[in-house]
């Protein structure tokens, strides 16, 4: 009988510009580590990081609660979380913990859930941070690579990323509101112009073609979003300079990572990613904001790193 399972789940970037709530890409940058152990009574959450330990406020806790109820799991569960993904910066932090928890419970109780079921459970965790369920980040954290999510009914398609795709994420050192995703979703227009939806649709289709044809340049050039980005960019100090500097430094394309405030530039191994990172840093500096630069590849996905019997 398995007593405990530890999973490392990757961070991710959602939307990739025009694929709002539909596209996700797992990033080989930060991983949350979630250990689920059969222990005690009920569900307890343990962490030395600055995250809510109350069940209803914790993304992994909500996932465990739902899985325990739906799958009629008996006995207690302890969830130990080591947070590495920066929280509230548009890198799928809550999703990484939620995904790690769903995968760990699946293995711990030998539930044999398929990928859609795992994504569906992990998505419940998003409610704790975003106020609504969307599956783009969790699908990327559960499956790795590039994902396309259709949420009703839920289905997820995974495409392997091109080997030469490299991302440069600029994470600004600004104070983010507590319910940041909820706030940044509230500024999005409720209706869109047909011409804008055509532009975004064409770009989104080209992103999918880029992943299928392993064409990093096509992916990067297609992350242009004329609907959500213009509505959110005022929330990111120095946005225009960060974007224009990165493009001038050779990035194929630049957009907001998920709900922000991080910005993500797309390049390939032929680009000078350090130069692009420095250009983005300069862009944030123009608004008197410091930032961390993370240069990374797509992640292949989560890993079960320890099973204790």
Q: How far is the CB of 184 from ligand HSE (least distance, A)?
A: 6
Q: How far is the CB of 126 from ligand HSE (least distance, A)?
A: 7
Helices (H) and strands (E) in the chain — how many of each?
Answer: 10, 11
Residue 296, φ and ψ in degrees, nearest 5: -150, 170
21 touching ligand HSE, by CB under 6 A: yes
135 touching ligand HSE, by CB under 6 A: no
Name the H helices within 90-148: 93-108, 115-130, 136-143
137 touching ligand HSE, by CB under 6 A: yes
Half-sphere exposure of 132 (CA within 13 A, CB side): 11
262 touching ligand HSE, by CB under 6 A: no
20 touching ligand HSE, by CB under 6 A: yes
Only one of the segments 12-20, 52-60, 68-76, 169-177 lies at the binding site for ligand HSE (rule: CB under 6 A); that segment is 12-20
Only one of the segments 128-136, 159-167, 198-206, 301-309 lies at the binding site for ligand HSE (rule: CB under 6 A); that segment is 128-136
Residue 78 is a catalytic residue: no
Residue 126 is a catalytic residue: yes
- CA 98 vs. chain centroid, Å, equals 11
Q: Which uninterrupted H or E stretch holds 84?
A: none
- How many Å apart are CA 256 and CA 264, to the nearest integer? 6
109 touching ligand HSE, by CB under 6 A: no
Output the DSSP codes for 5-43.
EEEEEEEEEE-TTT-TTTEEEEEEEEEEEEEEEE-SSSE
- Is residue 298 within 8 Å of 210, Cβ to Cβ? no
Only one of the segments 31-39, 132-140, 163-171, 213-221 lies at the binding site for ligand HSE (rule: CB under 6 A); that segment is 132-140
Total site size for ligand HSE, rule CB under 6 A: 12
Give rounded-to-5 percent helix, strand, coil for the chain.
Answer: 40, 25, 35
Q: Which of residues 155-214 bind ligand HSE (CB under 6 A)?
A: 181, 185
Task: Pick the closer one to ligand HSE by CB: 136 or 215.
Answer: 136
15 touching ligand HSE, by CB under 6 A: yes
- Using CA of residue 80, residue 36, residue 123, residue 256, what is the dihedral sign? positive
- How many Å apart are CA 32 and CA 109, to the nearest integer? 21
Q: How far is the CB of 140 from ligand HSE (least distance, A)?
A: 10
19 touching ligand HSE, by CB under 6 A: no
The catalytic residues are 126, 181
The residues binding ligand HSE (CB under 6 A) are 14-15, 20-21, 130, 134, 136-137, 181, 185, 258-259
């Amino acid at each position: 009988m398995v007593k405990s399972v530890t999973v490392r789940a990757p961070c991710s970037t959602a939307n990739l510009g025009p694929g709002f709530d539909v596209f996700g890409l797992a990033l080989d940058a930060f991983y949350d580590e979630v250990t689920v152990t059969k222990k005690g009574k009920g569900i307890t959450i343990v962490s030395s990081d600055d995250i809510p330990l109350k069940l209803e406020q914790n993304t992994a806790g909500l996932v465990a609660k739902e899985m325990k109820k739906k799958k009629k799991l008996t006995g207690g569960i302890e969830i130990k979380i080591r947070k590495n993904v920066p929280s509230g910066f548009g890198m799928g932090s809550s999703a990484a913990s939620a995904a790690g928890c769903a995968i760990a419970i699946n293995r711990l109780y030998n539930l044999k859930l398929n990928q859609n079921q795992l994504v569906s459970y992990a998505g419940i965790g998003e409610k704790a941070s975003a106020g609504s369920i969307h599956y783009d980040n969790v699908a990327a954290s559960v499956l790795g690579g590039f994902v396309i999510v259709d949420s009703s009914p839920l289905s997820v398609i995974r495409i392997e990323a091109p080997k030469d795709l490299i991302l440069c994420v600029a994470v600004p050192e600004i104070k983010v509101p507590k319910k940041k995703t909820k706030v940044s979703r509230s500024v999005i227009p409720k209706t869109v112009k047909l011409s804008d939806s055509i532009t975004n649709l064409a770009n989104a289709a080209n992103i999918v073609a880029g992943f299928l044809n392993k064409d990093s340049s096509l992916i990067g050039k297609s992350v242009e979003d004329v609907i959500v980005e213009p509505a959110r960019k005022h929330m990111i100090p120095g946005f225009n300079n960060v974007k224009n500097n990165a493009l001038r430094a050779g990035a194929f394309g630049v957009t907001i990572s998920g709900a922000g405030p991080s910005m993500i530039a797309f390049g390939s191994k032929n680009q000078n990613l350090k130069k692009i990172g420095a250009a983005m840093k300069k862009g944030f500096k123009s608004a008197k904001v410091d930032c961390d630069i993370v240069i990374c590849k797509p992640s292949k996905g989560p890993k079960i790193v320890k099973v204790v019997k």
